[in-house]
Structure 1
Amino acid sequence: LGLSDGLTVPFALTAGLAALGDTKIVVFAGLAELMAGSISMGIGGYLGASGEAQSAATTKASTIAMVYTSPAEARAAVISTLECYVSASLLDAVVTDITSAHDKTINFLLEHHHRFESADVSPRLYTSALCIAFGYFFGGLIPLLPYVFIEDGGVALVCSVVVMVFTLFGFGVGKTAVLGERRWGCRIVEGLKMVGLGGSAAAASVLCVRLVHQ
């Protein structure tokens, strides 16, 4: 998430500011946006993981309370989970076996009824935030680097666009491959889609800056 946003948002910003012709403005504003964007994206990742952890804790607590205080409701939940997969002749026996012990019932409901992950999610609070923040920052550095090394704003813009076309295309293809898509046609389409989205954002940014500047 952080990398895809980092490749598009700073690219659009730097392309828009490049219309002013001053690479120093592009570099300083781009770095400021990278820092602010990375922090906000990291905070968003932390809050998202924190919400997931709180939801998991609430689900676990409510399931435990239901099993101990309302066995009939717990049994009904087990039945609703199994009835699509177990024949009617075996259902009652299977449900009785699962609900014969509280721990067994709790574990079954958490794993199969609520799709609960037993692993501790608290470490993800920080790893998720850091991965998203650093992904955004390093992704945003790519379109900014040409403005650091090239003084001519027009040339830097062209170099940045060329670099980002290949980067966005490669990111789209790579992301699709990582997700398990083996067809090269779909990978190429996803790469072109990323180029189109990033290019549209950059073009809109340039147009807005030029309209305001005039």
Structure 2
Amino acid sequence: MSRVWRPLLDTLGLQPQVQVPPPAQPPSPSPPGTGEVSSQLFQRPTLSRFLADFTLGFADGLTVPFALTAGLSSLGHTDTVIYAGMAEICAGSISMGIGGYLSARGEVAAAAAADKAGAEAVVEGLRETQRRGDRQRDEEGENRDERLPSPLMAGFSVALGYLLGGVLPLFPYFFVRHVKDGLSWSFGVCAVALFLFGFCKDFALSGKPRRMRGSDIRRSAWEGAQMVFLGSVAALAAVLCVRAFEGIQVDHSEQSP
């Protein structure tokens, strides 16, 4: 049919118009500090990201307040231990939360700048990267967290972990009269919490799901024992520091001429 009709169309000056689609234009990246970056501030974190930030705060919250309360217990005043411990927990949770917020915000800003600089390269290799990512996720058997962290939620997760971890060593002092009893209960609570924390962190966050085997349980138990050892060393160092300065007395009375 084309051999018959094409000469006739050429004679009449009628040529079929072929619609050629315009070339696809790469999406223009939004400037850093707007759009995507601002939406990251209130983005809901994934479970893996929340656990990572919470773990960071919880580990420090268990160790630092426990070492402080253990050191102050040598003074023999329960009220002093409670007041100093609460002040340290409040200040530490705020400080750790601000640190987590600034760290996540810097990560988001750096990612936005990198996306703007390499927008064309990303568009050209998007399909190949997606295929590689799909193959990698299929091999690993799990979805990887490729989203940027939310600065506000990262700071909140770190602060929450520090707060919950710091309350545990201070909690027994509210129910005892003698500071030595509170120290004993605090040490027991922190030892159990540190062991369970290290055990669960290694067993649950070590990778893809697996069956409970003897080697996995022994490795997770070893991680928990290491956490207990490190916390005990920190508490012992605090007690020794207080004992070293315990004999120093400052005379504030004015000497008469």
Please state which band the TM-score falls in when normalised by the shorter chain: 0.7 to 0.9
Q: Does structure 2 retain, via aligned residues, the 8 Å contact 1:150–1:156?
A: yes
1:54 equivalent in structure 2 = 109
2:157 equivalent in structure 1 = 131
Q: Which runs of 5+ in 2 are unaligned?
A: 1-55, 133-144, 248-257
2:99 equivalent in structure 1 = 44
Structure 1 residue corresponding to 2:125, chosen from 105, 114, 132: 105
Q: CA-atom RMSD, angstroms?
A: 2.3
State whether structure 2 residue 215 is matched by structure 1 residue 189.
no
1:143 equivalent in structure 2 = 169
2:231 equivalent in structure 1 = 198
2:37 equivalent in structure 1 = none
Q: Does structure 2 retain, via aligned residues, the 8 Å contact 1:12–1:205?
A: yes
Question: How many pairs were matched up?
Answer: 174
Give every structure 1 segment of 4 or more consecutive aligned residues whose post-TM-superposition deviation is greater than 4 Å. Answer: 106-112
Distance 2:152 2:191 in 1: 32
SS of the residue 1:19 aligns to? helix
State whether structure 2 residue 185 is matched by structure 1 residue 152.
no
Measured at CA, do residues 195 and 59 of structure 1 come closer, stay the same or move farther in structure 2, by a change above 3 Å? same
How many angstroms does 1:110 deviate by? 9.8
Distance 2:246 2:131 in 1: 58
SS of the residue 2:76 aligns to? coil
How many angstroms does 1:151 deviate by? 1.9
State whether structure 2 residue 63 is matched by structure 1 residue 8.
yes
1:176 equivalent in structure 2 = 202
Distance 1:61 1:20 in 2: 58
- Look at both structures and tell me which one has the larger radius of gyration over its CA atoms: 2
Distance 1:143 1:111 in 2: 49
Distance 1:131 1:176 in 2: 19
More helix by share: 1
How many angstroms does 1:111 deviate by? 9.8
Distance 1:159 1:118 in 2: 43
**TM-score between the two structures when normalised by the length of structure 2:** 0.63
Q: Which runs of 5+ in 1 are unaligned?
A: 68-73, 75-101
Higher RCO (C-alpha under 8 Å, 6+ residues apart): 1
Deviations 1:79-128 (A, max 9, x none): xxxxxxxxxxxxxxxxxxxxxxx83436767997xxxx864x36x11111
Distance 2:129 2:108 in 1: 18
Deviations 1:51-88 (A, max 9, x none): 11011001101102xx3xxxxxx5xxxxxxxxxxxxxx
**TM-score between the two structures when normalised by the length of structure 1:** 0.75
2:8 equivalent in structure 1 = none
